[in-house]
Amino acid sequence: MKPFGYLRAGTVREAAEALAEHPGARCLGGGTNLVDLMKLGVERPGLLVDVSRLPLDTVEELPDGSVRVGATVRNSDLAAHPLVRDRYPVLSQALLAGASGQLRNAATTGGNLLQRTRCPHFQDLSKPCNKRTPGTGCAAREGTHRDHAVLGHSEQCVATHPSDMAVALAALDARVELDDGRTTRDLPADRFHRLPGDHPERDTEIRPGELVTGVVLPAATASLPSAYRKARDRASYAFALASVAAVLRTSEDGTVVHVGLAFGALAHKPWRAERAEAALRGGPATEDAFARAVERELEAARPLRDNGYKVPLARNLAVDVLTRLATARNRTGTTEEDS
């Protein structure tokens, strides 16, 4: 590891100014990904700006009924928070499906969004990687790519984004708050991460000198039936092969009123299934309809040599989760009528 300076930021402005002043600086949250990448030599910051003690560590309800999550709230605390468990179960489930208890205790909300791909070629300095060193090529496209993207990849990069949390945020229509020390802005969660295109070195839309300061969970998707399901090589403590986050509201007669659907581990970003959502909205909440809509979404898939399995896996996960949500709603309705 290269020697580096260290600054513990007391305010967002102080952190933003340090980032602006030192182009080689990196923000340090829980460090569960960044410190690992520094050990591997993938990241070589000249300065670490420690933002983990910034006063952004609360989950609070806002007057409009939305819930604001500070960027330094730890993943374990967010998953356990009563507001999240009660109103946004998909987010709690996604967080708990990720990493280990130790890592969730350290990892922050902002850091989870900003974590890098686990593509083995990105993490291996002996391999070409356009994301790590632009212009060197991609060792994954024709190499080991069983875990890689089937949607939205480019000639330059076939990596996936590893976050479970971000998939739930996309399905919930959450927003990501950004602050450069002078002005703030926010972005929809499903527009925060980018597809690789010709610039796979850019994972997100964050600008130089900006910090993620929080995430807002909207009132509109609060308390809707929602769930996360993840397929992986072992029962726990593994990255997704495919995952799905779904939010579904149906009317009394079984019509889809609201649906939010996002896939994880299929693309360079959480993949919001907008075509499937449009196909479902206003239609019947049945297994057949879910299957047709999800298949329409996945028509865009372009699997690589060794990851074609992801397409039927993702399809089956999504149909299963949506069907369960629809069935649970119907059961609740029956119970209410009976009582």
The interface region with other proteins, picked from 24-32, 171-179, 292-300, 308-316 by CB under 8 A, is 24-32
Q: Are strands 47-50 and 59-61 parallel, antiparallel or unpaired?
A: unpaired
Say which residue the tokens 């057949």 belong to: 288
Say which residue the tokens 């605390």 belong to: 77
Distance of CA 54 to the CA centre of its chain: 22
The interface region with other proteins, picked from 81-89, 169-177, 211-219, 268-276 by CB under 8 A, is 81-89
Q: Which of 13, 20, 61, 103 binds other proteins (CB under 8 A)?
A: 103
Q: Which residue, 44 or 281, is less far from other proteins as judged by CB?
A: 44
The answer to whether 302 touches 150, Cβ cutoff 8 Å, is: yes
Size of site (CB under 8 A) for other proteins? 63
| 79: alpha, beta or left? (left if phi > 0; alpha if psi -120 to 50) | alpha
133-192 binders of other proteins (CB under 8 A): 133-134
The interface region with other proteins, picked from 30-38, 54-62, 269-277, 313-321 by CB under 8 A, is 30-38
Q: Which residue, 25 or 265, is less far from other proteins as judged by CB?
A: 25
**Contact flag: residue 55 with other proteins (CB under 8 A):** no
**Contact flag: residue 132 with other proteins (CB under 8 A):** yes
**Contact flag: residue 45 with other proteins (CB under 8 A):** yes
Q: Alpha-carbon distance 219 to 213, whole Å?
A: 19
What is the nearest approach in angstroms of other proteins to the Cβ of residue 115? 10
Residues 6+ apart with CB under 8 A from 219: 64, 65, 66
Angle 208-212-218 from CA coordinates, rounded to 5°: 135
**Contact flag: residue 59 with other proteins (CB under 8 A):** no
Helix, coil or strand: residue 262 = strand
Q: Which residue, 14 or 36, is less far from other proteins as judged by CB?
A: 36
The answer to whether 163 touches 97, Cβ cutoff 8 Å, is: no
**Contact flag: residue 221 with other proteins (CB under 8 A):** no
**Contact flag: residue 79 with other proteins (CB under 8 A):** yes
Alpha helices, H only, the chain: 12-21, 34-40, 75-80, 82-87, 89-96, 101-106, 109-114, 165-171, 189-192, 274-280, 287-298, 310-338
Q: Which of 17, 179, 190, 203 binds other proteins (CB under 8 A)?
A: 203
**Contact flag: residue 28 with other proteins (CB under 8 A):** yes
- What CA–CA distances, in Å, run from 158 to 10, 119, 169? 38, 9, 22
The answer to whether 272 touches 278, Cβ cutoff 8 Å, is: no
What is the nearest approach in angstroms of other proteins to the Cβ of residue 157? 13
Q: Which residue, 235 or 299, is less far from other proteins as judged by CB?
A: 235
Q: Which residue, 4 or 309, is less far from other proteins as judged by CB?
A: 4
251-310 binders of other proteins (CB under 8 A): none
Binding residues for other proteins (CB under 8 A): 1-8, 22-25, 28, 31-32, 35-39, 42-48, 50, 52, 76, 79-82, 85-86, 89, 92-93, 96-97, 99-103, 105-106, 114, 116, 132-134, 201-204, 206, 208, 227, 235-237
